[in-house]
Structure 1
Amino acid sequence: MENNNVEIAGLQEVNYDNYRLSKTKYNSLTNFVGDHFQYSYFGNTINFAGGQYGIATISTLPYRSESVKHLYSNDSDKNNDKFIAACENYRFEDKSTIKDMEDLRSEYGMSLVEPRIVTRILINKDGQEIAFYNTHISYASTKLRVMQFKQLVEILEQDDAEYKVIVGDFNADRNTTDWKIFADKFNLANGQEGVWRDTYIVDDDPTMRVNSIDNIITSKNITISNVQTVYSTESDHIPLIADLTLN
């Protein structure tokens, strides 16, 4: 991303000071924040493995405010309470906690839903303020995903900032038509001029019908150009990058 002069980016599935991957606490952000991306903001989605797990924004630009909103979920499902407890108790070195998670997944499958959030920071670029959002949408069901899409549209429409950008893993793996919820009022990088770029690169899920599941969405007063992906094997997703011009 540094080689491509990326100024700001949204990260998903961030392990934040937890024991998910090692016997000592691990923070994914240490791999990103440094001389180039000097600023970061983490949003906790769920307490996980003695720490936190969620999404983060990394930026070369400072920001002056931050906030989190929770998205629609099925938190009322009693089985979800067991799942959330198992997430918090999970430990890399404790096989019993891993088995507890696997057993829940096996028994309840897609009915178990991780909480989902959207984060917002306010950045300044060339004297213009931009509301920059980051999210990771649910993969559990198309119905829930569409509800979350509609909620995001409402959040963006209610934002008083002149310029608005939202990035993330939207998990729209069934079709490309669900993006129409955004298309009338916003600009989309993925799907621009009918070109859909695969950003999920691991061909291990036969239920997925499309792999163009990440996107950069902007208010209409922002022009999107030079949309591209950068191939990497560091993750099961590859970065989607675009130039944004404030009009």
Structure 2
Amino acid sequence: MPTLRVATYNIAAGQNPDPQAINRLFTEENLDLIGVQEVDRHTRRNPYDMPAAIAGTRYHAAFAPAIPVMGGDYGIALFSREPLLNVTNHHYTHFGEEKRVYQHGVYEVAGTPLSVYNTHLSFETPVLRQLQVAELAAAMHADPIPRQVLFGDFNMDQSRQEWDYFDPALRRANGGAGGWFDTFNGRDAGMQSFAIDNILVTPNIQLSQVRVPSRILSDHQLLAATLIF
């Protein structure tokens, strides 16, 4: 059966991440497809094309700007060994202090199309995140491609029950058979849960080898998994 090694990672653009170190981590984990959040492009705090620098020569990058920041853009990005097809960016109609987006593209795995989503939900309230999940779920439900994967920093930091906003049929890498991983490694007195990053897949995809590498390059940990078709 075809397999794909994937990950989600919030790289904390405001902390001046090291793109070469991130690329090495992706390479060491033998990742094929990665959803990344908090990415800068040509800002004053990170005055270069961060997606291109992280991609290097090993990966292809697709960037989705969410808001203008410090003379450039701030948003999310997908990285892939082979180019993603038909990549589109979508702003949520509900958002807090910052506009938020999700990406969608198609990745071919041994001739099988995989519908790929990447997002970063708002941090303010569970109600706001629930509204954003509803928008995202509607897009995924309308998607004609049956195999789907969703990467994200979902900021579900008040209760693990927030994950119930999603269709219970979706399988979770974080909070699944392997238990919960506290992927946010900072400390915030307002947070009740630190398991805020996740990879969700449709029931026709198996999740295995879920792990959080010990390498610390951000205030989040990379969450990796193997998808089996």
**Partners in 2 of 1:233 and 1:197 — Cα distance?**
14
Runs of 4+ displaced beyond 3 Å: none
Give 1:18 shift.
1.5
Which one has more relative contact order, counting CA pairs under 8 Å at least 6 apart?
2
Aligned residues with identical type, % of pairs:
31
Map of 1:47 onto structure 2: 68
Map of 1:207 onto structure 2: 190
Structure 2 residue 38 is the aligned partner of structure 1 residue 13? yes
Using the size of structure 2 for normalisation, the TM-score is 0.85
C-alpha distance after superposition, 1:5-28 (max 9, x if no partner): 11010111101112134xxx2232
**Partners in 2 of 1:155 and 1:182 — Cα distance?**
13
Does the 8 A contact of 1:72 with 1:144 survive in 2? no
**Partners in 2 of 1:72 and 1:236 — Cα distance?**
28
Give 1:194 shift.
6.8
**Partners in 1 of 2:49 and 2:37 — Cα distance?**
13
Map of 2:137 onto structure 1: 153
**Partners in 2 of 1:115 and 1:184 — Cα distance?**
27
Which of 1 and 2 has greater Rg?
1
C-alpha distance after superposition, 1:137-190 (max 9, x if no partner): 000111101111122111111111121111010000011111112252311111
What are the residue-to-residue correspondences of 1:229-244 with 2, within 5 Å? Answer: 229-244=212-227
For structure 1, the residue ranges without an aligned partner over 5 or more in a row are 75-111
C-alpha distance after superposition, 1:17-64 (max 9, x if no partner): 12134xxx2232244212322x11000101111111100001112222
Structure 2 SS opposite 1:226:
strand
For structure 2, the residue ranges without an aligned partner over 5 or more in a row are 1-25
What are the residue-to-residue correspondences of 1:14-93 with 2, within 5 Å? Answer: 14-21=39-46, 25-37=47-59, 39-74=60-95
**Partners in 2 of 1:194 and 1:30 — Cα distance?**
33
C-alpha distance after superposition, 1:85-112 (max 9, x if no partner): xxxxxxxxxxxxxxxxxxxxxxxxxxx5
Map of 2:228 onto structure 1: 245
| Count of aligned pairs | 204
